[in-house]
Structure 1
Amino acid sequence: MTRNLTQIEAVPDLPVIRITREFDAPRERVFRAWTDPELFARWVGPRSIDTAIETWDARTGGAWRYTGRRDSDAFAMGFWGSFHEVRPPERLVQTFSFDGAPDGVSLETMLFEELPGGRSRIVATSVVESVEIRDQIIASGMESGVVEGYEALDELLAEKS
């Protein structure tokens, strides 16, 4: 198995965050892990957080909502949005908001690229309202959640299907 590194980039002078990550699995399996609620709940976010899916309609025009909980300190945070476009296995466009900033929304586009040898790459681009909000998101510690989540996704994808 290849050691895959998560690249998180704040695009200079734009309110954009770009995340790039390769996986040792075909893009169809990676796409399914993003759109199947049972699989998504198993890998998203930091390892210290358990995810409960409340609404999940992974189709163009559908909606989603989940809550991340940590029992050790009664932490809970809700996230929600809509699926703008679901085009298996190559493209997923959605909005993303969280309860802590209900007026904030990002538009996220995930491109699922096929690579040689049964591997794949995700390029996720998030557009937010301002460069200041982009910088707040990056400073919030989102990197650890993204990296730990993708490591958990690696483990999920390594399981026999």
Structure 2
Amino acid sequence: MDIVADPGVPLVLITRQFNAPRELLFRAYTEPDLIARWLGPPGLTLTVNQLDPRHGGRWRWTHYDSNGKGFAFHGLYHGTPSPERIVQTYEFDLYPGVVYLNTITFEHNDGVTTLRQSTVFPSVEDRDVYVDGGMEVGIRTSMDQLEALVSQL
């Protein structure tokens, strides 16, 4: 897996290959019971509060720590999500107004699906808060958990 966060650029790029059809990855991103099984860093559980994967549809989920403290995220879908591409905004409730744009693509070739996620932030400073907040551990763990999930489906 590659994670690129070049200095001075308000962008994070993630690339990971999966030995699974893109339709399975798409399901893992758009079905609440599947999302809850892979998304999030170690030690947290996820509750999908809302998920409406269609153009203009809203999503919201909350990660809970072992003490029951919640960390909520929400956003909107832009365009109709498909097994080729999902575009959505993303906002963390602890940083209201800092909205970033995720574009996730699933490219399938010879039994392997390459997932690419491009996350654009309003500023370099906002991107740096995200990076410095431990995003790499959360992303790597989530991608490993996603790999395990799609291998079971």
Q: Specify if TM > 0.5.
A: yes
Aligned partners of 1:60 and 1:86 also within 8 Å: yes
State the match for 2:44 in structure 1: 49
TM-score normalized by the length of structure 1? 0.90
How does 1:83-94 map onto structure 2 within 5 Å?
83-94=77-88
Deviation at 1:75, TM superposition (A): 2.8
Deviation at 1:10, TM superposition (A): 1.1
Distance 2:100 2:93 in 1: 13
State the match for 1:66 in structure 2: 61
State the match for 1:16 in structure 2: 11
Deviation at 1:82, TM superposition (A): 0.5
State the match for 1:140 in structure 2: 133
**Superposition CA RMSD, Å:** 1.2
State which of 29, 35, 42 in structure 2 corresponds to 1:40.
35
Distance 2:37 2:116 in 1: 21
SS at match of 2:43: coil
Structure 2, unmatched stretches of 5+, are none
Distance 2:42 2:112 in 1: 24
Which 4+ stretches in 1 moved above 6 angstroms? Answer: none
Structure 1, unmatched stretches of 5+, are 1-5
SS at match of 2:16: strand
Aligned-residue identity in percent? 39
Distance 1:148 1:92 in 2: 21
State the match for 2:121 in structure 1: 128
SS at match of 1:151: helix
Distance 2:28 2:80 in 1: 13
State the match for 1:80 in structure 2: 74
